[in-house]
Amino acid sequence: MAIVECKMRLDKFIASMGFGSRKEVKNNIRKGLVTVNDNLIKDPGFGVIRGKDRVTLKNQPITYEDYQYFMLHKPAGVISATEDPKHKTVLDLLTSKHRKDLFPVGRLDIDTEGLLIITNDGELAHNLLSPKKHVEKIYYARIQGVVTEEDVEAFKNGVNIDDDYTTMPADLKILKSDQVSKVEIIIKEGKFHQIKKMFEARDKKVIYLKRMAMGRLQLDPELKLGEYRVLKVEEIELLKNR
């Protein structure tokens, strides 16, 4: 039996990769700004085969990708959402052309910095976020108050937050114990404001929080706050093969 290659509408192909809205893309096609395999195409409904046909818009090649993966060094003041009427979102920081269906994997609070994965791979996101998968998230924090070995033990046993929920065991490492302590925390879940609530339950306050790693993927030290880059193939494999 012959294999039938599935075709996609030309306008959908281009719009999916972030090169304008469907309306804008259709107009550009009709204006003669698009080629397929070096042939000028003016029909928005023209069928193209992903990964085979060569498509250009204004002489710029467009490569279709089913999934995209970005590492973002999230700054404070930006929310982990796809859109928001009041605040800048993490997707607003992506200035390069990208798929329209990207989303952040999990949420970092508006005042939390650090590693954030942005993708459109729903299965990967589920596997990274599900408590049943036990994927470690590593954070660095500064804490108002003296962090003690008693706190370390409490984290190891799980901390009661929100009156009706006890966290999974977490690793707390004291880097510096003082009026402002410095610590590293490893958790395997991601409840709303979890780390802040865990320390509040110990009568202490998180004054700075930064995610350093997710699974085996670490934040690239070369990325400045607000910067991002495409994940390397081997980094994607690190996430998938935790």
The sheet carrying 60-62 orders its strands as 39-40, 34-36, 55-57, 60-62
The half-sphere exposure of 178 on its side-chain side, counting CA atoms within 13 A, is 6
Q: What is the dihedral of CA 36, 38, 40, 42, to 10 degrees?
A: 10
Instruction: Give CA separation, 137 vs 29, 162, 214, in Å.
Output: 45, 21, 5
Instruction: Give CA separation, 192 vs 39, 108, 116, 177, in Å.
Output: 52, 9, 16, 26
Identified catalytic residue from 109, 111, 171, 220: 109
Can you spell out the DSSP letters for 110-131? TT-EEEEEEES-HHHHHHHH-G
Is the Cβ–Cβ distance between 29 and 10 less than 8 Å?
Answer: yes
Amino acid found at 58: K
Residues in the chain: 242
38 is catalytic: no
DSSP state of 86: S
Task: Provide the token pair at 144.
Answer: 């108002």
Q: Which residues participate in catalysis according to the annotation?
A: 109
